Amino acid sequence: MVKGTMRAAAVLAVALLPVACGDGPTSPSGLVDTEWRLASVELPGAAPVTVTRPDRFTLRLGADGAASALVVCNSCGGRYELAGDRLTVSRLACTLAFCVTNEDAPALASFPSLLEGASVAATDAAGLTIRSERGTLRFVR
């Protein structure tokens, strides 16, 4: 009886190991504490808009629950929660400096509002994708 119980415990431990130690699509090592640079924005019913200066549109999700973004020359900040692949970002407070930019696409102006609210986040070799009914944001490291 003890031998069977030990075997069952060992099988369970091996089965749970990838969950406990794995690098899933939204695990902290894959998503949190990384500066993500915006590569493209796709609004519903529109073609994707490629960002020519990804360094001017960034996102960082801190291990402390802080969300921060750079929008051309303005900084935005708020809070986020991550549960599995569900990412929820609070309303972001942004500075309102006048920024000179070549990026005049309306899709890029909506970048902060596309981050806010509930979304699905996934990382892969290409980067980070955040999807919601509001649109799709694709980021690179």
Work out the pLDDT band at 123, boundaries 50, 70, 90. Answer: very high
Report the pLDDT value the prediction gives residue 104, as an integer from 0 to 100: 56
Dump pLDDT digits (tens) for 11-34: 333 333 333 344 444 444 479 999
Pick the CATH number of 23-140 from 1.10.15.40, 2.40.128.270, 3.40.920.10, 3.20.20.140: 2.40.128.270
**pTM score of the predicted model:** 0.77
Dump pLDDT digits (tens) for 32-82: 999 999 999 999 999 999 999 999 999 999 999 999 999 989 999 999 999
Q: Where are the domains of the chain?
A: 23-140
Q: From residue 33, give the alpha-carbon distance in Å to each of 74, 128, 138, 141.
A: 20, 13, 17, 11
Q: Which pair of tokens denotes residue 74?
A: 């303005």
